[in-house]
Amino acid sequence: MPVRSLTTKQYKQKHNIDGLENLNKFLSKLPPPDPTLDQGEVVDIPLRDGTPSQIRIFRPKVASQQPRPLIVLIYGGGFILGDNTQLSSVSRVLANLYSAVAVNISYRLAPTHKFPTAARDAYDSVRWLSQNASTLGADLSKGFVLLGASAGANLAAVVAQKWFSSKSSPPITGLSLAIPWLLSEEIVPQAYKHLWFSRNQNENAMILNKGTIDYMLAAYEPDVHSADFSPFNHPAPHSGMPPVYIQVCGADPLRDDGLIYEQVLRYFGVKTKLDVYPGVPHGFSVFREMELAKKSFSDQILAIGWLLGVEKTREDVERLN
């Protein structure tokens, strides 16, 4: 029986794994949000079915009348875990470093909400933000950037491709994808199949492994051929997309998704920037005392400057972090 035809309970019984529990144990070891830090303005916005969805809005500490770019952040968690506090440390720095409005959105999670709910929730949130940017203090002519991590990077890429393909306005001007999940074996382009082997090479990796990925797929039940699952599934993908920044980890089962996407985008003439972190697993950047994790954080922040056309330094990032 294919993984995607199993319920979450059936999958756990069949394979005798506790993927969700293991992930919860990992997440439980992370420090809770610091109440002394800005946690953003919490607002509910409507989705297409009328369901309210929570966003967190981060603005610069220093008030200004200058127009501000909008940066939309989408958290990860394999479509089954996470919330919009996950990227708050990134949002705080982005808001203050680039005098931007940074917004953490939400989306409904599997297994309660199966595919394509997450993708549609993310799209609806980005659409609402684009239509209400001025009331939030943002000016999209100064920049309209999507940033996603892991499953959130999947959603960011899906939204951006759909946005471009439908000629939606105002245009998204940049895309930042950290450790993205973009492919399944069935949809890897033929010319790149020989480059897609990290699922097997890193099947027993720390933090995220093959068993956990299969668990997530069993919970999410995506149609891997749908444009709501991957930008590769659009009829005419890639060409004309805005600049894209990608981060990948060497010991990540998802590594080759990001590497192949960067190559394909570059082939189609899209401006790209790629950072690779050898020998470390998916999500290692949460261990922020590691020097490579600090570099990864700074790389991500500085890449937003590249997408906005604003040059900053690592020292600038460190002063705010």
Question: What pLDDT digit, counting tens, does each position of 226-247 carry?
Answer: 999 999 999 999 999 999 999 9
CATH topology of domain 3-320: Rossmann fold (3.40.50)
Residue 16 has pLDDT above 70, yes or no: no
What is residue 8's predicted lDDT score, i.e. its pLDDT? 42
State the pLDDT confidence band at 20, using cuts at 50, 70 and 90. low
The Cα 260–Cα 263 span in angstroms is 5
* Confidence band of 63 (pLDDT split at 50, 70, 90): confident
Cα distance between residue 226 and residue 9, in whole Å: 25
| Whether pLDDT at 169 is above 70 | yes
**What would the pLDDT profile of 110-140 be if each residue is shown by its tens digit?**
999 999 999 999 999 999 999 999 999 999 9
Render pLDDT for 68-84 as a digit per residue (tens, 0 to 9): 999 999 999 999 999 99
Q: How much is the pLDDT for 281?
A: 98
Q: What pLDDT digit, counting tens, does each position of 97-112 carry?
A: 999 999 999 999 999 9
pLDDT at 94 over 90: yes
CA dihedral 161, 166, 172, 174 (to 10 degrees): 30
Measured distance CA(172)–CA(220) in Å, rounded: 27
Mean pLDDT lowest among 21-30, 214-223, 259-268, 278-287: 21-30
Between 284 and 64, residue with greater pLDDT:
284
Residue 1 clears pLDDT 50, i.e. is over it: no
What is the reported pTM? 0.91
What's the confidence (pLDDT) of residue 304?
99
Mean pLDDT, range 169-173, rounded to an integer: 98
pLDDT at 36 over 80: no
Q: Determine contact, residues 164/172, Cβ cutoff 8 Å.
A: yes
What is the CA angle 251-256-261, rounded to 5? 140
pLDDT at 210: 95
Q: What is the mean pLDDT of residues 294-301?
A: 98
First to last CA, the chain: 48
Q: How much is the mean pLDDT over the chain?
A: 92
Is pLDDT of 6 > 50? no
The whole-number average pLDDT for the span 179-205 is: 98
Domain boundaries, given as residue ranges, for the chain: 3-320
Listed residue (87, 94, 95, 93) closest to 59, CA to CA? 95
Q: What is the mean pLDDT of residues 30-49?
A: 85
